[in-house]
Amino acid sequence: MNIIETNLNFGNLTKRSRTVRAILHHSAGSKASAEDIHRWHLANGWAGAGYHFLVRKDGSVYRLRPEWAVGAHASGSNSDSIGICFEGNFMTESMPTAQKQAGKELVAWVKKKYGFTKVQAHRDVQATGCPGTNFPFAEIANGSTGTVTPTPPTSGNTYTVQKGDTLTAIAKKYNTTVDALAKASGITDPNKIHVGQTIVIKGAAEKPKPTKPNGNTGTNPIIRDGQIHARNFAMPGLGADGIRGPRTKEAGIRVLQQAMNRDYGAGLALDGIWGRKSEKALGRHTVRRGEKQYMVTALQILLMLKGYYCNGVDGHFGAGCEKAVRQYQADHGLTVDGIAGYNTFKSLIQ
């Protein structure tokens, strides 16, 4: 499964505190793109598209409203649910196989991600015919199918397929292999990619890119900036080549050691080796939104060293930082709570 990221601009959104169910809808109109829905819902005076996801007839899945936000799709039931819209009018139409398959995968993925089992039709919670009498509800709500892959990262590590692209050409461009890209992106048939699809580059690179005399393609500018921050914060002499190699990994550990020394007086040697003393110093410490300390500085640098951008390195845990943490957690199978604790820090220094 692949989720296509969109660039829709939303008004004020509210963070959803609980996610215990998914609610399924149809668009009622036979044709509805992500932009169409966004425009229609803005015209309602809403902050933008009210659903979190759109499943189109061709089986492509688009992100609409950010997943963390309260939706606007089922009055009275928005505060604890994910809203999924299926393109089409299933009062009269029947659902194409590709769309049904994609819907099953998306629903299975959302259930697994948030750990709930409850899936409802819009008509279950409001007086409406939505999503239509022909909507294959039981199949989509209960069917677990295929391989479910996490949402690809959105920041600097992905490539959006353009017209005329092949996976072979993209692999060549990023100095990796078709197999590695397919694996990282959850693609089952490398000959079937489509315009607008997100290809995950990060984690796909199998061979380190040799530095060429002119041009540094294949290096990640976020990692490079992170290396410069890590050098200044905890590891003088660290090179900034934009490639996450053994020295960069060592730098990440040093950055965390430095922060624990400053915030907690841990007295650790900046040796870049994660030993018992470092483990004990980290303990159950967490950092979260609103905090300002060196552990936040470390978090921001560690995210960059993994290719995640969080609006700079300032030691202040703001919205950009929380967004990056959530994205990182989602991409790495961690609990998505936007709080950096033991598991998140340990994953970041791996």
Please, what is the end-to-end C-alpha distance for the chain in angstroms?
A: 26
Q: Given the complex with Zn ion, which of 25 and 63 has the nearer CB atom? A: 25
Nearest approach, Cβ of 75 to Zn ion (angstroms)?
10
Q: Which stretch binds Zn ion (CB under 5 A): 86-94, 116-124, 163-171, 281-289?
A: 116-124
Nearest approach, Cβ of 31 to Zn ion (angstroms)?
17
Q: Determine which helix (DSSP H) or strand (DSSP E) holds 23, and give its type and residue range.
A: strand 21-26
Nearest approach, Cβ of 51 to Zn ion (angstroms)?
8
**Total chain residues near Zn ion (CB under 5 A):** 3
Nearest approach, Cβ of 95 to Zn ion (angstroms)?
15
Residues between 16 and 45 that touch Zn ion (CB under 5 A): 25
122 binds Zn ion (CB under 5 A): yes
Site string for Zn ion, 144-183 (x = CB under 5 A): ----------------------------------------
Q: Given the complex with Zn ion, which of 25 and 244 has the nearer CB atom? A: 25
Distance CA 84, CA 94 (A): 17
User: In sequence order, which residues have a C-beta less than 8 Å from that of residue 161 and are 6 or more positions away?
Assistant: 170, 193, 194, 195, 196, 197, 198, 199
Q: Given the complex with Zn ion, which of 63 and 122 has the nearer CB atom? A: 122
Distance CA 179, CA 168 (A): 9
Q: What are phi and psi of 298, to 5 degrees?
A: -60, -45
Q: Which residue has the tokens 């499964």?
A: 1
Contact between residue 20 and residue 84 where contact means Cβ atoms under 8 Å apart: no
Distance CA 125, CA 81 (A): 12
Site string for Zn ion, 127-146 (x = CB under 5 A): ---x----------------
Nearest approach, Cβ of 13 to Zn ion (angstroms)?
19
Taking Cα atoms as reference points, which of 314, 329, 323, 262 lies closest to residue 289?
323
Q: Determine which helix (DSSP H) or strand (DSSP E) holds 121, and give its type and residue range.
A: strand 118-121
Q: Given the complex with Zn ion, which of 25 and 104 has the nearer CB atom? A: 25
Q: Given the complex with Zn ion, which of 22 and 334 has the nearer CB atom? A: 22
DSSP summary character for residue 226: H
Q: Which residue has the tokens 């300390």?
A: 293
Q: Given the complex with Zn ion, which of 122 and 306 has the nearer CB atom? A: 122
Distance CA 182, CA 284 (A): 37
Q: Given the complex with Zn ion, which of 130 and 199 has the nearer CB atom? A: 130
Nearest approach, Cβ of 122 to Zn ion (angstroms)?
3
Nearest approach, Cβ of 54 to Zn ion (angstroms)?
12
Query: Which stretches of the chain bind Zn ion, using CB under 5 A?
Result: 25, 122, 130
